[in-house]
Structure 1
Amino acid sequence: MKTDFKKTLDCYQAPSNGFRIIEVPALQYLAIDGRGDPNTSTEYADALAALYPVAYKLKFASKQELDRDYVVMPLEALWWAEDMASFTANRDKSTWSWTAMIMVPDWITAGMFDATVARFATKDRPAKLDLIRLEVLDEGNCVQTLHIGSYDDESQILARMHDEFIPAAGMRMTGKHHEIYLSDPRRVAPQKLRTILRQPVEKIA
């Protein structure tokens, strides 16, 4: 049976007309870091061109070696900047830093990851392959919502999350802004894109 973690993990569910406070478990990711506007940065494009081939090769290795099949998870990213207001005010993406990620099951070991990377032939080796790492992210308590629409239209709902809902709940932001891209922008119109927006938080003592 093929496991679809988008359906089995509660943290991949979010309301489209409100905010939800959840406890996100520690999850394992393929990850690669960078900086700059994802719309214009070749660094971001190169990062994705390395992430996806590794993700699919790991899936096939899991099926063949462990007889455990799963659906490759959607692209995710952590975003941060020195001034977090850049996410809700001027949206100057050139100042943003990011970690692009794809979640992989916890049964994928460091040995499997290293062996998969080593299988890439010289001719099809992605430029950023050696920058990908396997790591666990433990976000804990988070607030999230489902944004439907263009990525550039996120500022209003993020302002509500950051400036209204989180303070009203007696919490404060602690970690990096997290986005989960449930839609493929190559196949879905901008106004129909579905993106989970997540923000780690903690209770104010």
Structure 2
Amino acid sequence: MEKYDVKKAHKELYSPPSKDFVVVDVPELRYIAVDGHGDPNTSPAYANAVEALYGVAYTIKFASKNTLGRDFVVGPLEGLWRADDPSAFVTRRKDTWQWTMMINQPDWITDDAVRDAIEAVAKKKALPALGDMRVLGLAEGTCAQILHIGAYDDETPVLDRLHHHYLPENGLTFNGDHHEIYLSDARRTPPAKLKTVLRQPVKAL
């Protein structure tokens, strides 16, 4: 049985270069998602959301394999980040951040399949985020992105370069939430070796 892997099916979206920004066209993709706010390093709601997402994602995977005969690799954790003041990302004022954490789902996974998985996980463990989980269709369109290698808190120079140099120099401006794709497992990877796709939907000025 061949496994679907979103990172291979959309290689150009998940493997940008690490030196220069590139522009990509992102089609509509489906996710399971949970919204929240606050510092991801200290917020219990953030940890709960991530645990719930992985629990549901793996439950969906095994159900798809067993009942549909279609297997897939669980996608990486992804996050949409926003703040009333965009400079909060460059200054790392994390307590003001709002987020939507999410995991991609193959297009054959139905809303009913997601609902069944949420119910199955809820029977095993009480996770408040399960009640807030939703299916999200996201069509970002034209985006600038780059691969950041290093600690999350070391993203600041890259984001500063994006905001104050790359976008204005190329006649572009923001057109959606800052998007991060976590290709590494932070629990097992040294901070200096973490790989994160930094993506920003853009439009012409």
- Quick one: distance in 2 between partners of 1:86 and 1:127? 27
Asked if structure 1 preserves the Cα contact closer than 8 Å seen for 2:59 and 2:121, the reply is no
Paired residues in the alignment total: 203
Match for residue 18 of structure 1? 20
Structure 1: which 5+ runs fail to align? none
Match for residue 96 of structure 2? 95
Deviations 1:31-86 (A, max 9, x none): 00000000011110011111100000001111112111110001000001011011
Aligned mate of 1:53, from 52, 55, 61:
55
Letter in 2 for 1:152: D
What is the Cα deviation at residue 7 of structure 1? 1.5
Tell which deviates more after alignment, 139-148 or 123-132.
123-132
What is the Cα deviation at residue 123 of structure 1? 4.2
What is the Cα deviation at residue 203 of structure 1? 1.2
For the residue of structure 2 that corresponds to 1:69, the secondary structure is: coil
Aligned mate of 2:78, from 76, 79, 93:
76
After TM superposition, the structure 1 = structure 2 runs for residues 66-145 of structure 1, keeping only pairs within 5 Å, are: 66-88=68-90, 90-120=91-121, 122-145=123-146
Match for residue 158 of structure 1? 159
Aligned mate of 1:31, from 30, 33, 42:
33
What is the Cα deviation at residue 29 of structure 1? 0.3
1:33/1:171 Cα in 2 relative to 1: closer, same or farther (>3 Å)?
same
For the residue of structure 1 that corresponds to 2:16, the secondary structure is: coil
Tell which deviates more after alignment, 34-43 or 125-134.
125-134
- Quick one: distance in 2 between partners of 1:61 and 1:70? 11
- Quick one: distance in 2 between partners of 1:15 and 1:41? 31
For the residue of structure 2 that corresponds to 1:196, the secondary structure is: strand
Deviations 1:99-150 (A, max 9, x none): 0000011110011111222223534232221111011001000000000000
Letter in 2 for 1:179: E
1:46/1:121 Cα in 2 relative to 1: closer, same or farther (>3 Å)?
closer
Letter in 2 for 1:12: Y
After TM superposition, the structure 1 = structure 2 runs for residues 160-179 of structure 1, keeping only pairs within 5 Å, are: 160-179=161-180
Match for residue 188 of structure 2? 187
Tell which deviates more after alignment, 115-124 or 185-194.
115-124
Asked if structure 1 preserves the Cα contact closer than 8 Å seen for 2:144 and 2:202, the reply is yes
1:101/1:121 Cα in 2 relative to 1: closer, same or farther (>3 Å)?
closer
- Quick one: distance in 2 between partners of 1:116 and 1:193? 30
User: Among the aligned pairs, what percent are the same residue?
Assistant: 51
Deviations 1:3-31 (A, max 9, x none): 22112202112110010000001000010
- Quick one: distance in 2 between partners of 1:41 and 1:195? 21
